[in-house]
């Protein structure tokens, strides 16, 4: 049951994302019936699954939401902005309830229940105000014509036999009865277990159940059929409307798998027809002719049959379309398999160990000078490369799914602020590691909210500035040098340089006579407690936000930058590694230590001669084909013992358009690098992002190239850099 609960929670979270996406689509196009049906199916599936895992509090809440959606599908209530807002909030409430679903003993707290009841009250009030009171006049006439006689005359008769795989597909037959009870009365119910085999042949996971139901409700056949949408392909379903002819009941009996007399007894017990009517009908059926017209029950209103025919025609047409959709969905689902994230993590770890073991075998083959062994290890290394790439691709996901969630954020925040803002998404097909995606949601949320609150002006201010009244926030992603770049851009008023400078001086972050560049000045926005908002609101003014962004991004070995032009807008960029597990690295030697940089960031390697570099403080500069290249000597930076060799080399690295040179003793070539995180005691060290294990068993440090480039730039500006270590790299 624990595994079932976890699977239910994961599936429900996906369904909630679909529900929210389709509701936002409906807000723009209320006539989109496909989106409305998708919202209904999502709520229906969540409710059905909750019944299976015994989360009654989810069933009770979602049942009311589902009723409102069904009323909207039937056109009884209007799908407007108010209802969509209630439904979006209801989706959030279901997400809160799901937090309690993993523990069978847990129950929602009082605040959560109170919030749920408030939403349900809103839905009930809305439905009562919007529902039409003009029910078909034929309903009362038909009920009165029965004269309180036989039960079946004013009831729908539902005959259903569930397929054997219904339980395996996560459906509970009883949940359909509970749903029927929500909009009508089950006047009579017979449970059929005739298909149950002998005990030795019975499959405990198979379903052998069927129902004969007399259902009293002012409804349509289409609505009753929709109750069984999720099992239509695997069950036998027949629905007869009130006041159906005896011949129709007889036809039903003849098509069902049970014994004719057995079914006849059920109909007699329910009071649907009399024994005389049944016998005459069966006799007529056996004689191959229609039952005498005089003996058939006719509807009090002739138009009932015409309406029934029209409805059936519509259902057939809808069924053809739906069947095609279901087939497409099944074909798509057949290509996918759900794998627990822990299993993928374990696979990546094993591949990492395989990479290290392969490097060790290659080193031994090289030392032994055995050509046969060298050839074998080369083949193994190639296969390991392919396995590594394949394993990493398993965890790569498109960032577009994460981007799409911000439609709701932009909608809600812009409504709160009284602004008209659209969200434009580009580059959603760019892929990165799933573990990275999960950790950037919060930073992106801060950045998007900041763009809406601080960046986009009011409609009046935009019109006065010659801009369209509707503001625009753009989310974009693209790959660059082994990294993914995510941009959050707005077409607002841009950052006000003088205002930021005044705040920085007031906080002691900047000298009063300083004249920093835009890039340096905008970096101060990431400082804790820094805010340019005049008033505290729900969104800003407390000095919390961008410092959280910076901290979370740096924890992922990434960087965040800001570019802005006053009056034109602001672009905040995040650069992140595509994966946190295994990379292609470039191995370098300094003294007796080894260091690795990501191969994608290496531009070129050159030999350093005395005439090429000039000293400046403790740093160096290099004239690289007319370009000034700041240098960092790793021997000095890491305080390594010993002197430089007779021949030094420069590894030119590039990140985010900036370059620096790393001065090393030895170039050791490409190296598959399995990233091992450092302990918490080393997290404050600047310039180091992790470690790896070489084929020899030694440890090499992985250099943090963005930090080193920033240090080199500071050195070029006349500021010195300090060694991060007071001891050797070992």
Residue 97 · residue 108 · CB < 8 Å: yes
The CATH code of domain 398-577 reads 3.30.565.10
Tokens of 18: 């679909």
Give the number of other Cβ atoms within 10 Å of residue 70's Cβ.
20
pLDDT tens digits, one per residue of 273-307: 555 455 555 555 555 544 444 344 333 333 333 33
Residue 407 · residue 423 · CB < 8 Å: yes
Kindly give the residue spans of alpha helices, DSSP state H, lying in 198-291: 221-227, 246-255, 260-270, 275-286
Dist. CA 710–CA 299, nearest whole Å: 86
pLDDT tens digits, one per residue of 72-131: 887 888 888 888 899 999 999 999 999 988 888 888 889 999 998 999 888 888 777 665
Residue 171 · residue 227 · CB < 8 Å: no
Q: Classify residue 411 as left (phi > 0), alpha (psi -120 to 50) or beta.
A: alpha
Pairing assessment for the beta strands 627-633 and 658-664 based on DSSP bridges:
parallel
Residue 186 · residue 246 · CB < 8 Å: no
* Confidence band of 553 (pLDDT split at 50, 70, 90): confident
Residue 727 has pLDDT above 80, yes or no: no
Higher pLDDT, 148 or 701: 701
Supply the mean pLDDT for the chain: 77
Of 518, 452, 457, 447, the C-alpha closest to 487 is 447
* Confidence band of 611 (pLDDT split at 50, 70, 90): low
pLDDT tens digits, one per residue of 667-722: 988 887 888 777 777 766 778 888 888 877 888 888 888 888 877 776 655 544 55
The CATH homologous superfamily for domain 582-716 is: CheA-289, Domain 4 (2.40.50.180)
Q: Which residue ranges make up each domain of the chain? A: 2-132, 141-309, 341-395, 398-577, 582-716
Residue 392 · residue 582 · CB < 8 Å: yes
pLDDT tens digits, one per residue of 313-339: 343 344 444 444 444 444 444 456 777
Of 232, 231, 215, the C-alpha closest to 172 is 231
Dist. CA 627–CA 133, nearest whole Å: 80
Residue 272 has pLDDT above 50, yes or no: yes
Residue 307 · residue 220 · CB < 8 Å: no
Query: What is the predicted pLDDT for the residue at 475?
Result: 94
Of 312, 301, 310, the C-alpha closest to 243 is 301
Dist. CA 679–CA 675, nearest whole Å: 13
Query: What is the predicted pLDDT for the residue at 314?
Result: 40
* Confidence band of 624 (pLDDT split at 50, 70, 90): confident
The CATH code of domain 341-395 reads 1.10.287
Dist. CA 676–CA 678, nearest whole Å: 7
Dist. CA 477–CA 480, nearest whole Å: 10
Dist. CA 403–CA 486, nearest whole Å: 10
Vertex 277: Cα angle to 272 and 281 (nearest 5): 110
Please enumerate in sequence order all residues whose Cβ is within 8 A of that of 323, keeping only pairs 6 or more positions apart, or say none. Answer: none
Query: What is the predicted pLDDT for the residue at 363?
Result: 83
CA-to-CA separations, 202 to 166, 172, 206, 208, 459, in angstroms, rounded:
15, 18, 8, 9, 69
Tokens of 625: 């084909």
Tokens of 147: 């004269």
Query: What is the predicted pLDDT for the residue at 677?
Result: 74
Say whether 553 sits in a helix, a strand or coil.
helix
Dist. CA 300–CA 152, nearest whole Å: 15
Strands (DSSP E) along 547-698, which ranges? 559-565, 569-577, 582-590, 593-598, 602-608, 613-616, 619-624, 627-633, 648-655, 658-664, 666-674, 688-693
Dist. CA 167–CA 273, nearest whole Å: 33
Residue 661 · residue 711 · CB < 8 Å: no
Residue 78 · residue 260 · CB < 8 Å: no
Tokens of 554: 């740096």
Of 298, 170, 326, 176, the C-alpha closest to 239 is 176
Length of the chain: 730
Query: What is the predicted pLDDT for the residue at 726?
Result: 38
Residue 116 · residue 99 · CB < 8 Å: no
Say whether 701 sits in a helix, a strand or coil.
strand
Query: What is the predicted pLDDT for the residue at 472?
Result: 92
Of 478, 687, 657, 492, the C-alpha closest to 571 is 492
> What does DSSP assign to residue 469?
S
Same topology between domain 2-132 and domain 582-716: no
| 13-33 exposure pattern, b = at least 16 Cβ within 10 A, e = fewer | eebbbbbbbbbbbbbeebeee
pLDDT tens digits, one per residue of 480-512: 877 889 999 999 988 888 888 888 888 888 888
Give the number of other Cβ atoms within 10 Å of residue 544's Cβ.
13
Q: What is the mean pLDDT of residues 649-657?
A: 87
For 467, the enclosing helix (H) or strand (E) is: none
Residue 70 · residue 37 · CB < 8 Å: no
Residue 185 · residue 218 · CB < 8 Å: no
Residue 481 · residue 601 · CB < 8 Å: yes
Higher pLDDT, 601 or 678: 601
Dist. CA 463–CA 412, nearest whole Å: 23
Q: Following DSSP, what letter does each residue of 511-548 receive, concatenated?
A: -TT----HHHHHHGGGSTT----SS--SSSSSS-SHHH
Query: What is the predicted pLDDT for the residue at 381?
Result: 85
Residue 474 has pLDDT above 90, yes or no: yes
Residue 449 · residue 421 · CB < 8 Å: no
Residue 730 has pLDDT above 70, yes or no: no
Pairing assessment for the beta strands 699-703 and 593-598 based on DSSP bridges:
parallel
Q: What is the mean pLDDT of residues 560-565?
A: 89
The CATH class that applies to domain 2-132 reads mainly alpha
pLDDT tens digits, one per residue of 235-246: 888 888 887 777
Vertex 701: Cα angle to 695 and 706 (nearest 5): 135
Q: What Rg value do the Cα atoms of the chain yield, rounded?
A: 35
Of 132, 136, 119, 190, the C-alpha closest to 159 is 190
């Amino acid at each position: 049951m624990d595994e079932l609960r976890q699977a239910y929670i994961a599936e429900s979270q996906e369904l909630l994302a679909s529900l929210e996406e389709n509701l936002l689509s409906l807000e723009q196009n209320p006539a989109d019936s496909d989106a409305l049906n998708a919202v209904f199916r999502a709520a229906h599936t969540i409710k059905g699954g909750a019944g299976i895992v015994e989360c009654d509090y989810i069933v009770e809440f979602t049942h009311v939401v589902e009723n409102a959606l069904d009323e909207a599908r039937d056109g009884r209530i209007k799908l407007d902005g108010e209802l969509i807002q209630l439904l979006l909030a209801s989706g959030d409430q279901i997400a809160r309830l799901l937090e309690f679903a993993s523990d069978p003993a847990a129950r929602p707290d009082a605040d959560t229940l109170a919030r749920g009841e408030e939403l349900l009250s809103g839905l009930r009030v809305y439905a009562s105000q919007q529902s039409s009171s003009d029910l078909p006049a034929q309903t009362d006439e038909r009920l009165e014509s029965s004269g309180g006689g036989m039960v079946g005359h004013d009831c729908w008769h539902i005959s259903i036999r569930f397929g054997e795989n219904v339980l395996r597909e996560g459906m509970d037959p009883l949940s359909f009865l509970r749903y029927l009870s929500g909009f009508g009365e089950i006047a009579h119910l017979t449970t059929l277990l005739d298909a149950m085999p002998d005990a030795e042949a019975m499959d405990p996971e198979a379903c052998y159940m069927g129902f004969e139901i007399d259902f009293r409700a002012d409804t349509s056949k289409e609505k009753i059929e929709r109750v069984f949408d999720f099992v239509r392909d695997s069950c036998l379903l027949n629905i007869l409307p009130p006041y159906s002819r005896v011949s129709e009941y007889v036809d039903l009996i003849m098509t069902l798998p049970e014994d004719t007399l057995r079914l006849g007894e059920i109909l007699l017990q329910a009071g649907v027809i009399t024994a005389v009517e049944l016998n005459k009908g069966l006799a007529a059926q056996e004689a191959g002719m229609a039952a005498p017209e005089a003996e058939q029950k006719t509807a009090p209103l002739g138009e009932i049959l015409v309406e029934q025919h029209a409805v059936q025609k519509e259902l057939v047409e809808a069924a053809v379309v739906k069947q095609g959709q279901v087939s497409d969905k099944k074909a798509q689902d057949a290509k996918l398999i759900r794998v627990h994230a822990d299993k993928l993590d374990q696979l990546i770890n094993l591949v990492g160990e395989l990479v290290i073991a392969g490097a060790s075998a290659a080193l031994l083959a090289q030392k032994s000078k055995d050509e046969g062994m060298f050839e074998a290890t080369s083949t193994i290394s190639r296969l390991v490369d392919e396995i590594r790439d394949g394993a990493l691709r398993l965890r790569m996901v498109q960032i577009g799914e994460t981007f799409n969630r911000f439609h709701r954020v932009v909608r809600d925040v812009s409504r709160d602020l009284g602004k008209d803002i659209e969200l434009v998404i580009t580059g959603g097909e760019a892929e990165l590691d799933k573990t990275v995606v999960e950790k950037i949601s919060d930073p992106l949320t801060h950045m998007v909210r900041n763009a809406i609150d601080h960046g986009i002006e009011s409609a009046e201010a935009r019109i006065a500035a010659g801009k369209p009244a509707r503001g625009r926030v753009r989310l974009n992603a693209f790959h660059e040098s082994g990294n993914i770049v995510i941009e959050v851009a707005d077409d607002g008023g841009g950052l006000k340089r003088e205002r930021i400078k005044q705040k920085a001086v007031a906080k002691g972050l900047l000298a009063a006579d300083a004249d920093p560049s835009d890039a340096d000045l905008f970096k101060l926005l990431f400082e804790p407690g820094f805010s340019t908002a005049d008033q505290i609101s729900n969104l800003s003014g407390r000095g919390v936000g961008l410092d959280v962004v910076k901290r979370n991004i740096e924890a992922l070995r990434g960087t965040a930058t800001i570019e802005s032009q006053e009056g034109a807008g602001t672009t905040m960029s995040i650069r992140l590694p595509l994966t946190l597990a295994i990379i292609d690295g470039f191995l370098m030697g300094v003294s007796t230590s080894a260091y690795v940089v990501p191969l994608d960031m290496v531009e070129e390697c050159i030999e350093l001669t005395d005439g090429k570099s000039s000293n400046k403080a403790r740093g160096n500069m290099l004239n690289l084909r007319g370009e000034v290249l700041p240098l960092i000597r790793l021997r000095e930076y890491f305080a390594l013992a010993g002197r430089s060799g007779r021949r030094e080399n420069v590894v030119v690295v590039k990140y985010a358009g900036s370059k620096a040179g790393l001065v090393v003793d030895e170039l050791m070539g490409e190296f598959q690098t399995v990233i091992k995180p450092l302990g918490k005691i080393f997290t404050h060290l600047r310039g180091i992002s992790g470690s790896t294990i070489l084929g020899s068993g030694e440890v090499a440090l992985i250099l943090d190239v963005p930090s080193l480039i920033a240090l080199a730039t500071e050195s070029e500006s006349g500021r010195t850099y300090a060694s991060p270590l007071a001891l050797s790299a070992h």
